[in-house]
Amino acid sequence: MDTLSKIAKEVQEETKVRLHRRNVERLIKAVLTTGDFWKIVDLSDLPVPAAAGIVKRLIKEGVLFINDKEDILLTQKGHDLVAELGISPVVDYSCSACEGRGYPFYADKELYRTFVELAKDRPKAIRDYDQGAVTPETTVARVLFIDSRGDLEGRDIIVMGAEDDLTGLAVALTRKARRVLVIDIDERLIEFDKRIFKELGIDNAEAMVWDLRNPFPEEMLGKFDVFITDPPETFAAFRAFIGRGIATLKEEGCAGYFGLTLRDSSIFRWKEFQETLINEYGTVITDIVQDFNHYMNWEYHPETRAAQIAPVRRQPKDIWYRSAWYRIETLPNFKRWNEPISDEVFYLDEEGSTT
C-alpha cells in the first residue's frame, strides 16, 4: 500500500471519517498553497476532524511541521514526496466579479444596500443552534439565483431553520413572492424579522418559532412552491430540514434550495444524501454550485470541537467555511417525509465539528 493510502486508512480508523488516498493528496495540495490550517480545511474539501487527523499524521510521518507562527509547512521529506507524486498547488480561476457563484450580489444594488443596513442589527450567532451566518453577499446572491430560476415572483415560499442568514428577510424585501413564511427555532431571529416586516409594511411575510425536530402539522404540508434551508450535515438534520422542506411543496415541478458543505461531512456522506434525494424522496438535482455560500466566522469558534481538535491554536482570520448551493425539483410521486426526529445526534456526529 502506498504512503497516501496508508495515511488515509489510519486517519479513517482514528477519526471514523471515511477517506481515500486522494483526500490526503488534496490536503497536501492545500498545504502547498497556504500554511493556515483553516484555509487548508477549505481547500481540501474535508471535514475538520479528517483534515486535523491527516495533518497530525503527516507531522508524525515527518512530512509536515508547524512553525512558531503556527503555519503548517512541508519538511524536506514532504517536498521530496510532493516531487515524487507530482503534486502541485491549488489554482483558482473563479470569477472575481460574482465570487464564483455565477450570480453577482451587485446585480440588485438596492436590495443589497437595504439588506446590509437592516442586517447590521441582526442577533449575534449563538452556539445552541449551530448558527454561523453567511455573508450579506451570499444571502443576496441566493435571492437573485432563486429569482433567475423562476422561483421567487408570485411564489409561496417557506424559509426554514436557517434565519441567522436572514435569507427569509431578503426574500421578503424583494416583495416579489406571493407569500413568505419564515420559521426558526431562535425566537430572537423571528422577533427581528417580525419587527422589520411590520416597520416596512411587508404584509405578505410571516415569521414563526418552530423546532424542525417536530413534524409539521397537516396544514403546512403541500402548501408552498419553494423551500429554502441550510441544515447541519447530520442525517437526522438532513431529514428534518430537507425531507420536511419537500413535504411542504405543492406538486411536481416545485423547487427546494439548501446548502451542503464538505467541511462538516465527507464526500461519502454526500453520496448518501444524494441517494436519499433521488431514490427515497423522488426529487431530481438541478444545480450544485460549489463554494456558493461563504460563512462569516462565529464568535463561539474557540468553544467548538473544530477548534479543539485543530493542530493549531490560531483562530481563523479569513472566510474558510463554505458550502455548495443545491437546487432540487420534485417529480411525480415525490415523497413528503415528515416523521418526528428521535435521533439525539442532530447537530454533531463524527464528521461534524463546527457546532
Per rule CB under 8 A, is residue 107 in the interface with a second copy? yes
In three-state secondary structure terms, 89 is coil
Residue 149: its H or E element: none
In three-state secondary structure terms, 126 is coil
Question: Helices (H), strands (E): how many in the chain?
Answer: 13, 9
Per rule CB under 8 A, is residue 303 in the interface with a second copy? no
**Which of 185, 267, 319, 345 is close enough to bind a second copy by CB under 8 A?**
267
**Which of 14, 80, 128, 153 is close enough to bind a second copy by CB under 8 A?**
153
**Which of 187, 191, 211, 275 is close enough to bind a second copy by CB under 8 A?**
275
Per rule CB under 8 A, is residue 175 in the interface with a second copy? no
**Which of 13, 92, 128, 191 is close enough to bind a second copy by CB under 8 A?**
92
Task: Name residues whose C-beta falls within 8 Å of residue 84's C-beta, 6 or more positions apart in sequence.
Answer: none
Question: CB of 346: closest distance to a second copy in angstroms?
Answer: 24
Give the residue from 269, 271, 272, 244 showing the smallest Cα distance to 256. Answer: 244
Contact yes or no for 240/231 (Cβ under 8 A): yes
For the four alpha carbons of 43, 135, 260 and 343, in that order, the dihedral sign comes to: positive
Per rule CB under 8 A, is residue 144 in the interface with a second copy? yes
Stretch binding a second copy (CB under 8 A), from 66-74, 119-127, 299-307, 328-336: 328-336
Question: CB of 207: closest distance to a second copy in angstroms?
Answer: 23
Q: 161 or 231: whose CB is closer to a second copy? A: 231
Question: How far is Cα 210 from Cα 215, in angstroms, rounded to an integer?
Answer: 10
Stretch binding a second copy (CB under 8 A), from 53-61, 207-215, 272-280, 306-314: 272-280
Question: CB of 275: closest distance to a second copy in angstroms?
Answer: 6
Q: 212 or 328: whose CB is closer to a second copy? A: 328
Per rule CB under 8 A, is residue 271 in the interface with a second copy? yes
What's the length of the chain?
Answer: 355
**29-48 binders of a second copy (CB under 8 A):** 29
Per rule CB under 8 A, is residue 337 in the interface with a second copy? no
Question: How far is Cα 244 from Cα 44, in angstroms, rounded to an integer?
Answer: 31
Residue 21: its H or E element: helix 21-31
Q: What is the dihedral of CA 337, 132, 323, 97, to 10 degrees?
A: 130
Per rule CB under 8 A, is residue 336 in the interface with a second copy? no
Question: How far is Cα 235 from Cα 164, in angstroms, rounded to an integer?
Answer: 21
Stretch binding a second copy (CB under 8 A), from 50-58, 122-130, 237-245, 268-276: 268-276
In three-state secondary structure terms, 199 is helix
**Cell representation of residue 345:** 445526534
Per rule CB under 8 A, is residue 279 in the interface with a second copy? yes
Question: How far is Cα 321 from Cα 166, in angstroms, rounded to an integer?
Answer: 18
- The residues of the shown chain that bind a second copy, judged by CB under 8 A, are 20-23, 25-26, 29, 86-88, 90-98, 100-104, 107-108, 144-145, 147-148, 150, 153-154, 178, 251-254, 267-268, 270-271, 274-275, 278-279, 283-290, 324, 329, 331-332
